[in-house]
Structure 1
Amino acid sequence: MSYARFAVYYLPPDGALAEFGAAWLGWDCVAGRDTVRPDVPGLDDVTMTPRKYGFHGTLKPPFRLAEGTHVEGLKLAMSQVAQTCVPGQSDGLAMTCLGRFLALAPVGDTFDIARVAATCVEALDTFRAPPDAAELERRRKARLSERQEALLQRWGYPYVMEEFRFHLTLTGRLPVDQIDHWSETARTHLPPLPAPFVMDEVALVGERQDGRFELIQRYALAG
């Protein structure tokens, strides 16, 4: 299959958390298929924005392949990165609200998680085509700080390196008066969350022609 863009994700391993995320969002990016949703009124609407990405934590944001590069070379580079990258770990995961959307985020020291993400961003940068003018304009609508603008120009995305915050998205942007409701609703469906949270593998994913992302290959971190 041909893909419009690629990204590096953390995808939870097979188990209760991965099953929850796929069902909650309605898209299983590992299996590449729609899922049976929980019977929760309004769930389809509040998960519409993150659905196409699947249940994941972004490590290297979506990018188009640079001219002169190809998928097989990207896979090889991913394998080389994984062979030398040390796994990351935090005390656990907890649900939180980030900019009015709900997500699972690491608890405690997140240095190691950020290190894995920074490694992926930097080591694979030669495969990233520069963002076009339309994408730059869209990013700048968020009123970027001076540092975020510099990161956008250098890495093609404003929320990397020290501006990065790892999270697994559960909803789109919520009205303020619905945050508590959806927080409680999500908690009633969440399985026990990992403690500690260990990131010992990463995944290369691709954006299909229908705009949805799916798994291409997982890579164990063996550094």
Structure 2
Amino acid sequence: MQFRRYAIYHLPTGALGEFGGAWLGWDARHGMAHLRPGGLPGDADALTETPRRYGFHATLKAPFRLAPGRGPKELALALRLICDHLAPFALALETRCDWGFVALRPKRQPAGLLALEAALVTRLDAFRAPLTPAERERRNPDGLPPQARAHLDHWGYPFVLELFRYHLTLSSQLPAPLAEALRQKLAPHLAPLIAAPMPVAAVALMGEDEDGFFRMIEEVPLRG
């Protein structure tokens, strides 16, 4: 099946993954929406409109169009070969409000995470079609710091490599007081789900369908 764009995400598993998919209203792993858990802010559709179509995920290689002559099967094979040499790890998570987004972020980024992101960004870049002028402008390049703008032009996305920050987004961008209120509402529900470090044992090849929603194509284990 051909998709509009492709990406490499980490999709949390278990109870945390199920909670995130239900809260956002879209489960990218199973390609469906889940009923939201009770006792949470009522206008969840408005609070989660932006991240919903991506599902509950962390971006490792941002969405891209395939370069001419490249196909999804070749991309999947390249991803498997990379993951054969990268080891699983775990992340201790905390709830944060950054730039108006409520998200789960690791308390520290271990070497295994940084090696995984760098390998995916750099070694899969031959599969990425160059940004169109419109795609580049959507990233507001003039408002980016110089290094982020350089990454945008070289890798197609500004916040990679030394600027990479793992995050599992739980909201659209909100005014700071609303974001903090939402974080406080979600925190008690998330606390038991992140009490132990979250394993990162696989990554997911994702495809953006015609409806704009991302679906998992294949989950690839880290075998290193």
For normalisation by structure 1, the TM-score amounts to: 0.94
Contact 1:106 1:197 in 2 (8 A): no
> Residue in 2 aligned with 1:58?
59
CA–CA separation in structure 2 for the residues paired with 1:99 and 1:171: 11
The residue type equivalent to 1:120 in the other structure is L
> Residue in 1 aligned with 2:21?
22
The residue type equivalent to 2:36 in the other structure is R
> Residue in 1 aligned with 2:130?
130
Structure 1 residues 139 and 101, CA gap change in structure 2 (3 angstroms): same
CA–CA separation in structure 2 for the residues paired with 1:58 and 1:80: 19
Q: CA RMSD in A?
A: 1.4
The residue type equivalent to 2:33 in the other structure is D
> Residue in 2 aligned with 1:75?
76
1:148, CA displacement in angstroms?
Answer: 0.8
> Residue in 1 aligned with 2:176?
176
> Residue in 1 aligned with 2:50?
49
Q: Secondary structure at the match of 2:84?
A: helix
| Uncovered stretches (5+) of structure 2, i.e. residues with no partner | none
1:164, CA displacement in angstroms?
Answer: 0.6
Alignment: residue pair count: 221
Which string of whole-angstrom CA distances, capped at 9 and with x for unpartnered residues, describes residues 80-137 of structure 1?
01111222434x1111111110100111343321221111111111100011000111
The residue type equivalent to 1:185 in the other structure is K
Task: Report % sequence identity.
Answer: 43
Q: Secondary structure at the match of 1:129?
A: coil
CA–CA separation in structure 1 for the residues paired with 2:108 and 2:86: 21
Contact 2:95 2:105 in 1 (8 A): yes
| Uncovered stretches (5+) of structure 1, i.e. residues with no partner | none
CA–CA separation in structure 2 for the residues paired with 1:117 and 1:217: 18
CA–CA separation in structure 2 for the residues paired with 1:83 and 1:186: 36
CA–CA separation in structure 2 for the residues paired with 1:50 and 1:89: 24
The residue type equivalent to 1:160 in the other structure is V
Which string of whole-angstrom CA distances, capped at 9 and with x for unpartnered residues, describes residues 7-36 of structure 1?
0000112x1101100110000101101221
For normalisation by structure 2, the TM-score amounts to: 0.94
CA–CA separation in structure 1 for the residues paired with 2:22 and 2:142: 30
